Chains A and B, each alone.
Chain A
Amino acid sequence: MIEVTNLTKEYLEGETPTTALKNITFSIAKGEFVSIMGPSGSGKSTLLHVLSFLDRPTGGTYTFLGKSMNDMDDAELAHVRNADMGFVFQSFNLLSRLTVYDNVEIPLLYSTVPEEKRKDLIEDAVKAVGLEEKMHSEAGRLSGGQKQRVAIARALVTNPDVIFADEPTGNLDSVSGAQVMDILEKLHDKGRTIVLVTHETYTAEFANRIIRVKDGQIESDVPVLKSRHTRQEFIK
């Protein structure tokens, strides 16, 4: 599904060239739950941005669902982001004055989904995160955990192949964080590919594979062998 070969990302910091990613090579199969871990400044967020088509690499190749990113223009990248990718951000990025329903609808506005099918898709996505009773509440009035669940519903609504989650529990208390990870775990159980960026080991271990990044390079890429955490263990 995702194939990355010798991926490099350089950018200018003032006049000094800085390398954020160096010759990264790995692949992610459909249905995997992968955590990308690393300390601050390691390049894990840059890697996620490239994987999620928000940024372009300066070297190497990236093939998503069999199509090379290099062959796509910005409008095509936007189309793939809309149809095949879902995003969950640390800071939720909800439009606080819109309702839950309207926030979840946003990706559909840029999709080819017919208008008459939108309502069912939105309701299904909101039900999947257990917030149907908040469907018409203003997003700004929800708790942090509820906001992140709305963000997950928004990521799910176009039925994407992969969900990219960037520190999804970073702004949440442990109970809310556990609920969010529980939802992501269930989505994975239903066959969804999840790529999670985190610096928390407990959160990373919800995945079945952890890629550790340091100084822009892959330090390790190992499967998670132990059984999954229970919610109680996570809260501890």
Chain B
Amino acid sequence: MLIKDAFKTATRALTHGKMRSVLTMLGIVIGIASVIILMSIGASAQALILNQVQGIGSNLVFVIPGGSTSSKFSSPAAAQGIVIKTLKQTDIDNLSREPSIDAVTAEARGQGKVVYGENDVNVTFDGVPANFFTVRNYATTDGYPFSQSDVDSFNHVAVIGSSLAKTLFNNLEPVGKMIRLNNISLRVVGVLESKGTGPGGVDQDNIVMVPNTVAQSQLLGTDYFTDIVVSANDAYTIDFVKQRITSVLRQDHTLQTTDQDDFTIETQADILSILGTITSTLTLFLAAIASISLIVGGIGIMNIMLVSVTERTKEIGLRKAVGATDRDILEQFLIESIILTLVGGLIGIAIGAFVVTALYLIIATFFSSLGWVFEFPISAVVLGLLVSAIAGVGFGVYPARQAGKKNPIDALRYE
């Protein structure tokens, strides 16, 4: 039998029972659509997170207080909410003298309530030196970042995030206005350009940046930093810079050779590697869950194909009587199940693409600050088609073999 005739015969059989065919392929449709949607969401989340980390800059090295264990995935103590007070101004000063380091900045972070008129908002505030804006590439759309003389003079000035500016001032010009942060008044000197959500889920547009001197002495009452950010000199490798930072800080913190580091150094590459592994595992996990529905769909197809073989026993008998071989019958039923799963797979891909696009449009419209990235992985489409074809063969071969093995006389007599 020509393959073209086999396809024609199979298509005819499937179109004669349209409703049954549609219901049979529904399991595969849902399964493939789920795989596509979840893989796309996983890939989008991965791209979003990695983009944010890449936005940090490849020459930056982060120093977090507290040591870390040997495990790649265990968080440093500071990331677990434990307050460690080891990173001080002397560390910044000593690191600044290193030739392999271009600039050193730091953050002293806290939570507070910011008030303007009748509007108040809970925010994260960040006490930073003036060079923080250049090292971290933070630009203003309105006004200007505060200067080192503002920092040194304990001036009560603030640079605020774009969404905070909108919430507090509506359509008013923020620059020059006085706001209250906890118990102190601050004059707004600049508004940051929108940066969306940063690594670690901090909304970078709902933030108040103040001189670290003001933050540490008047808002937090501390003399330590939450983290230090080092901008490496391009002439040196990141690994060398990490070694120098380790050496300087161990000396500053008077650690013995047997003592473990009381700080953790992380580069963009480290963060990307960890996050990449986590998000890939998450995407795989999501796809694995969605695959369960594919298996259920495949079993549904096998079940209906077995019923179909029984119902069409007389047809099988007739076809064999007029010259069909076992192989011809096997091919016909196998092609039917492959068509069912492939068409189901294509519909699933189309539905998956539609849902993913709709999700993206909704997120882009209503949650634009999230900076959601549209990712529709071709690998998910290939996987979807491959899995549906394999499911068609895998779940169709048993019913098809049953059909092919039927004795023509018994089949013709079947009532």
User: Does B5 count as interface, using CB distance less than 8 angstroms?
Assistant: yes
Which B residues are in CB contact (< 8 Å) with A55?
409
Q: Are A54 and B16 in contact (CB-based, < 8 A)?
A: no
Q: Are A78 and B409 in contact (CB-based, < 8 A)?
A: no
- B residues with a Cβ closer than 8 A to A are 1-2, 5, 9, 12, 16, 314-315, 317-328, 408-409, 412
User: Are A110 and B326 also in contact (CB < 8 A) when A55-B409, A93-B412, A115-B2 are?
Assistant: no
Q: Are B324 and A78 in contact (CB-based, < 8 A)?
A: yes
Q: Are A106 and B318 in contact (CB-based, < 8 A)?
A: yes
A103 nearest in chain B by CB position: B318
Q: Which of A35-43, A81-89, A209-217 contacts B (4 or more CB under 8 A)?
A: A81-89
Query: 12 more A-B contacts (CB under 8 A) besides A74-B325, A107-B322?
Result: A54-B321, A55-B409, A75-B325, A79-B323, A93-B317, A93-B318, A109-B1, A109-B5, A110-B324, A110-B325, A111-B323, A115-B2
User: Does A44 count as interface, using CB distance less than 8 angstroms?
Assistant: no
User: Are A82 and B322 also in contact (CB < 8 A) when A93-B317, A115-B2 are?
Assistant: yes
- A residues with a Cβ closer than 8 A to B are 49, 52, 54-55, 74-75, 78-79, 81-83, 87, 89, 93, 95, 97-98, 102, 106-107, 109-111, 115, 154, 158
Which A residues are in CB contact (< 8 Å) with B326?
74-75
B315 nearest in chain A by CB position: A95
Which A residues are in CB contact (< 8 Å) with B408?
54
Q: Are A110 and B319 in contact (CB-based, < 8 A)?
A: yes
Complex Cα spacing A93 to B16, Å: 18
Which A residues are in CB contact (< 8 Å) with B315?
95
Complex Cα spacing A98 to B327, Å: 23
Which A residues are in CB contact (< 8 Å) with B409?
49, 54-55
Complex Cα spacing A79 to B318, Å: 14
In the assembled complex, the CB of A72 is this many whole angstroms from the nearest CB of chain B, namely 12
Complex Cα spacing A122 to B314, Å: 23
Q: Are A93 and B314 in contact (CB-based, < 8 A)?
A: yes
In the assembled complex, the CB of A142 is this many whole angstroms from the nearest CB of chain B, namely 16
Which of B314, B320, B322, B412 has its CB near the most chain A CB atoms (within 10 A)? B322
